[in-house]
Amino acid sequence: MITLHDVYEQGNDTVRAAVLAFGTRHPVGPDGPDAEPDWKQAERCFTRIIETIMGSAAPPPPGSTDGPVRRAENSAVGFLLAANTRPDYRCPICVKRQRPPL
């Protein structure tokens, strides 16, 4: 599965900006908007977004470059690009984790 770091390295300037913005949504501490991003947490959330998009689809055979995982990865990158246009968005994985159970 592709990592957030790989997306940054392989992406164009727009994709890179979206990755950096996603990182800022995962600050290390409560120091406000200037806090250093918690890249490990951002990486976990990005992986979880891919897994959520993929759902219960079976993983592709080894060596396959297409299939549900690849499509989910592309959709997750699309999410980063779409969310980057909203300055007030929050990570959906972090929000879900913070919600109290019903």
- pLDDT digits over 13-35, tens only? 999 999 999 999 998 876 666 67
More confident residue, 63 or 37: 37
Q: Is the pLDDT score of 102 beyond 80? A: no
Q: Is the pLDDT score of 49 beyond 90? A: yes
Residue 27's SS3 state is strand
Residue type, 1: M
| C-beta neighbour count of 18 within 10 angstroms | 22
User: Got the DSSP string for 49-92?
Assistant: HHHHHHTTPPPPPTT-SSSHHHHHHHHHHHHHHHHTT-TT---H
Q: Which residues, 6+ apart, have CB-to-CB distance to 93 below 8 Å?
A: 44, 45, 48, 49, 52
